[in-house]
Chain A
């Protein structure tokens, strides 16, 4: 799936100028715990989170996550958006809940990057 398809499925708004519509998305990590992204996630393609500060962007950068979707309509600060631009990590925002977002992507065959087993 492309990032553009993710955007459409989640009825998301793009927050950064570095939006690569063809970016390939296959594995998704959904959590508000950045420690879990670092501890359990493989190099995922997409992070779904309600944490909107710079830590989410830096965590994504460290964990080789390609793009971030903020759920529940939570809007990051200008500083966070600027940091994402610098790190070349596209940011999107959806009004959907985490549960709804995950469900919509799962039925379209995206899978979890979390390997806790």
Chain B
């Protein structure tokens, strides 16, 4: 849908919780869109990793969520909202290695407590709004440096 000449793009993906067969599909699609738009390879990697980690959190911990994205010549903005249990202590959740994932999740190679810290390290801006019992919204911004 987006060709290489496109300057901006926006869209939304819906994410189903516990659907591990399709976990990561939205982020892979976003990566493909960024590549088609000719975004720098390093920036594509950072944005894709941040999106993937956020998507995996929705799949692992929540019943459902959605990922909205907006790509402009200056920045990539990704907003991931879910209707999950929320994060009780965001500071603790930002600690590398801290995880509430079950053994089942860990056996699939995820839930080692690197998700949120890894999102932060790959983004220029990360805002987390979480209300226990209601859900969580992550707002991610990655700047696209001009030549």
Which residues from chain A sit less than 8 Å from chain B, CB to CB?
32-36, 38-39, 43, 49, 51, 53-56, 58-59, 61-64, 79, 87
Could you list 20 examples of A-B contacts with CB < 8 Å? A34-B109, A35-B53, A35-B109, A35-B113, A36-B114, A38-B49, A38-B52, A38-B118, A39-B117, A39-B121, A51-B109, A53-B20, A53-B108, A54-B23, A55-B23, A58-B25, A58-B52, A61-B31, A62-B28, A62-B45
Check if A62 sits within 8 Å of B114, measured CB to CB. no
Q: Is the interface of B mostly helix, strand, loop or mixed?
A: helix
Which residues from chain B sit less than 8 Å from chain A, CB to CB?
20-21, 23-25, 27-28, 31, 41, 45, 48-49, 52-53, 108-115, 117-118, 121
Q: Chain B residues near A55 (CB, 8 Å)?
A: 20, 23-24, 108-110
Q: Is the interface of A mostly helix, strand, loop or mixed?
A: helix
Rounded to whole angstroms, the CA-CA distance of A32 and B41 in the bound complex is 25
Q: Smallest CB–CB gap between A113 and chain B, Å?
A: 13
Kindly list 19 other residue pairs between chains A and B, CB separation below 8 angstroms, not including A38-B53, A58-B28. A32-B109, A34-B109, A35-B109, A35-B115, A38-B118, A39-B117, A51-B108, A51-B109, A53-B108, A54-B23, A55-B110, A58-B23, A58-B25, A62-B31, A62-B45, A63-B45, A63-B49, A64-B41, A87-B28
